């Protein structure tokens, strides 16, 4: 699974892991922060949140235009610097007045612009690594590994956001509202680590950073497409864009409406074996077990198989021991549910690679557009699960009125959200890494 890829892949993936950890730490609590710190209702907080996400997805267009003139590497460095300024501004506890609101909006503008300069161009550099014929056949699996690395950062983000906030409240005595800013400060630290990784391992990918250096006539001629070929490729891209926009519109409910649902309609505690799911280190043990299990079959030496089996046995043993000694209940915080999607992505990536690898050997692997179509259908099933789980519940306003009247609210099992994230992850694995890979292959050289 990890063999046959360019070294630059791992360097760029790790740099992106750090950046995504910071981003998702911020995003895990951001909607709740808007309501708590500024007293905004759900609709206005949602409008700010969604506008920010819209800019995050639009700004890579600006980053791409600038990179065509200045180079991908330069945009990545500038982008992460601009992002750092945004997170730094967001981490300042300025209160809930007008000045604080303006500072928060300015921070969001910095973060979205910085993300636009950084994220898209980093992915282009990953794609360019696979332009080398030596690695061309590994492009799809390479992007799956890259996507897995993104989600390793996202896996720890909700726990970091919740724990650092609790620490600021309990140990430092900050109010609940001011404590949110410590979660945002984590993002600043993660960006520093990300850039250290980028510069330390830069020699492995410097050749794809791009720049304004003029290419030889032969290289330019090789890249040329006829107007008809260019048009065909652009039409193919636009058709994919028109489809996936609806997936991401639905998927990004995780930080907004699904977080609201977790906060207002989901049980606040969990006990028994189920409670183990809310400890990120238990999830890490499951991931270790999955990868060790695959390594048992994929290792080429007896020693490698033995070590992998020992790791698998240890991971399973620890989980069984903890399950047998679990007692009491654990508090369940709304942002923590956002750890399940990245957990599933990381745990299921080797399964996905093995499945599609087997299909490819038989000549039956679906094309990238077909995988995207399947992903859309699976995503619909995920939200059907959520719809079934919410049948019979009050509206948010009615729920609040009932609580104010002293009536115990109706709360559903956390398993509804956990199951929804599982189904959405199946959809994401079909759609997202394949989509990025498809764009890197189909986009005209210009």
- The predicted-structure confidence for 100-114, as pLDDT tens digits, reads as follows 999 999 999 999 999
Look at residue 425 and tell me whether its pLDDT is greater than 80.
yes
Residue 37 CB neighbours (<10 A): 21
- Please report the pLDDT score of residue 240 as a whole number: 84
Contact 135/146 with Cβ under 8 angstroms? no
- Please report the pLDDT score of residue 379 as a whole number: 92
Residue 273 CB neighbours (<10 A): 12
- Supply the mean pLDDT for the chain: 90
Place of tokens 């708590």: 36
Considering only CA atoms, which of 72, 182, 55, 152 is closest in space to residue 111? 55
Extract the tokens encoding 253.
Answer: 């409910």
Q: Dihedral (C-alpha) 200, 203, 205, 206: value to the nearest 10 degrees?
A: 110
- Please report the pLDDT score of residue 214 as a whole number: 47
Look at residue 150 and tell me whether its pLDDT is greater than 90.
no
Mean pLDDT of 388-400: 91
Look at residue 213 and tell me whether its pLDDT is greater than 50.
no
Give the span between the Cα atoms of 108 and 268, in whole angstroms: 30
Give the span between the Cα atoms of 57 and 82, in whole angstroms: 16
Look at residue 48 and tell me whether its pLDDT is greater than 70.
yes
Residue 4 CB neighbours (<10 A): 11
Listed in sequence order, the residues at least 6 apart from 226 whose beta carbon sits closer than 8 Å to its beta carbon are none
Give the span between the Cα atoms of 231 and 269, in whole angstroms: 55
- Please report the pLDDT score of residue 223 as a whole number: 62
The CATH code belonging to domain 1-204 is 1.20.1250.20
Mean pLDDT of 150-174: 91
If pLDDT is split at 50, 70 and 90, which confidence band does 220 have? low
Which sign, positive or negative, has the C-alpha torsion 115, 121, 124, 129?
negative
Q: Among 14-18, 168-172, 214-218, which is the least confidently predicted range? A: 214-218
Contact 305/184 with Cβ under 8 angstroms? no
The single-letter DSSP state of residue 331 is E
Give the span between the Cα atoms of 420 and 385, in whole angstroms: 6
Domain boundaries, the chain: 1-204, 226-268+332-446
Look at residue 3 and tell me whether its pLDDT is greater than 60.
yes
Mean pLDDT of 27-32: 92
Contact 353/415 with Cβ under 8 angstroms? no
Look at residue 349 and tell me whether its pLDDT is greater than 70.
yes
Give the span between the Cα atoms of 100 and 339, in whole angstroms: 29
C-alpha to C-alpha distances, 201 to 5, 88, 142, nearest whole angstrom: 15, 26, 18
* Gyration radius (Cα) of the chain, Å: 23
Look at residue 249 and tell me whether its pLDDT is greater than 50.
yes
Give the span between the Cα atoms of 25 and 186, in whole angstroms: 7
Give the span between the Cα atoms of 91 and 387, in whole angstroms: 36
C-alpha to C-alpha distances, 347 to 286, 288, 316, nearest whole angstrom: 8, 8, 15
- Please report the pLDDT score of residue 417 as a whole number: 95
Q: pLDDT tens digit string along 74-91?
A: 999 999 999 999 999 999
């Amino acid at each position: 699974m990890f063999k046959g890829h360019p070294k630059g892949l791992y360097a760029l993936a790790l740099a992106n892991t750090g950046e995504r950890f910071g981003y998702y730490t911020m995003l895990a609590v951001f909607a709740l922060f808007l309501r708590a710190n500024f007293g905004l209702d759900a609709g206005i907080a949602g409008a700010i949140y969604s506008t920010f996400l819209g800019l995050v997805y639009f700004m890579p267009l600006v980053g791409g235009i600038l990179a065509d003139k200045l180079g991908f590497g330069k945009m990545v460095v500038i982008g992460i610097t601009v992002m750092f300024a945004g997170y730094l501004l967001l981490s300042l506890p300025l209160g809930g007045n007008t000045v604080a609101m303006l500072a928060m909006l300015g921070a969001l503008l910095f973060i979205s612009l910085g993300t636009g300069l950084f994220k898209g161009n980093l992915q282009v550099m990953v794609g360019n690594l696979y332009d080398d014929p030596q690695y061309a056949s590994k492009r799809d699996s390479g992007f799956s590994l890259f996507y897995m690395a993104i989600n390793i950062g996202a896996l720890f983000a909700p726990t970091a956001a919740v724990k650092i906030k609790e620490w600021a409240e309990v140990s430092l005595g900050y109010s609940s509202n001011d404590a949110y800013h410590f979660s945002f400060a984590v993002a600043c630290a993660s960006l520093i680590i990300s850039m250290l990784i980028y510069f330390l391992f830069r020699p492995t990918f410097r050749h794809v950073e791009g720049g304004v250096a003029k290419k030889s006539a032969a290289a330019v001629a090789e890249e040329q497409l006829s107007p008809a070929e260019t048009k065909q490729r652009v039409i193919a891209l636009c058709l994919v864009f028109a489809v996936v926009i609806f997936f991401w519109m639905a998927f990004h409910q995780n930080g907004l409406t699904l977080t609201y649902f977790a906060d207002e309609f989901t049980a606040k505690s969990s006990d028994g074996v189920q409670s183990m799911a809310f400890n990120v280190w238990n999830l890490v043990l499951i991931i270790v077990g999955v990868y060790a299990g695959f390594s048992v079959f994929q290792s080429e030496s007896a020693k490698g198989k033995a070590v992998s089996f020992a790791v698998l046995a240890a991971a399973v043993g620890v989980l069984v021991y903890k399950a047998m000694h679990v007692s009491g209940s654990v508090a369940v915080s709304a942002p923590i549910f956002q750890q399940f999607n990245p957990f599933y992505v990381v745990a299921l990536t080797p399964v996905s690679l093995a499945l599609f690898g087997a299909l490819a050997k038989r000549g039956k692997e679906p094309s990238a557009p077909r995988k995207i179509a399947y992903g859309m259908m699976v995503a619909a099933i995920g939200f059907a699960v959520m719809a079934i789980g919410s049948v019979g519940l009050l509206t948010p306003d009615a729920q609040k009125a009932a609580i104010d009247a002293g009536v115990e609210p109706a709360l559903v099992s956390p398993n509804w959200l956990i199951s929804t994230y599982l189904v959405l992850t199946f959809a994401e694995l079909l759609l997202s890494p394949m989509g990025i890979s498809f764009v890197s292959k189909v986009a005209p050289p210009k």
